[in-house]
Amino acid sequence: MDALGERPTCPIKIGYQFGHLFTAICPCNGDLFAAFLPSMTTECFNSLPGNCLSTPAATTLVLDKAACHRAAKAQTDLTLRFLPTA
């Protein structure tokens, strides 16, 4: 007689779903904006400035050099500054 018993077997599907958290913070007043988007693409990134910036005049975004950041289009009133390469 086995005291531990048996582990039941059943078919399973191993898979993952990913999401990406984009955030922006205002260093002057501490306002934070966050968006959970389905992918890390240029289209997703380009949708952020219009949604998160309440006062877009003279706004600067500081970015790393991720592919979607480098392909981003700077809007007329938005300045993109990139962090130096390490």
Residue 43 CA to residue 70 CA, distance in Å, equals: 12
72 versus 65: the higher-pLDDT residue is: 65
| Domain-embedded: residue 8 | no
| Domain-embedded: residue 5 | no
Mean local confidence (pLDDT), 60-80? 74
| Domain-embedded: residue 10 | no
| Domain-embedded: residue 4 | no
| Domain-embedded: residue 45 | yes
| Domain-embedded: residue 14 | no
Global model pTM greater than 0.85: no
Question: With b meaning 16 or more CB within 10 Å and e meaning fewer, what string describes 20-49?
Answer: eebebeeeeeeeeeeeeeeeeeeeebeebb
Average pLDDT value for the chain? 76
Residue 41 CA to residue 75 CA, distance in Å, equals: 17
| Domain-embedded: residue 60 | yes
59-63 and 20-25 strand pairing: unpaired
- Look at the chain and report how many structural domains it folds into: 1
| Domain-embedded: residue 27 | yes
Domain range enclosing 53: 20-82
Confidence of residue 38 (pLDDT cuts 50, 70, 90): confident
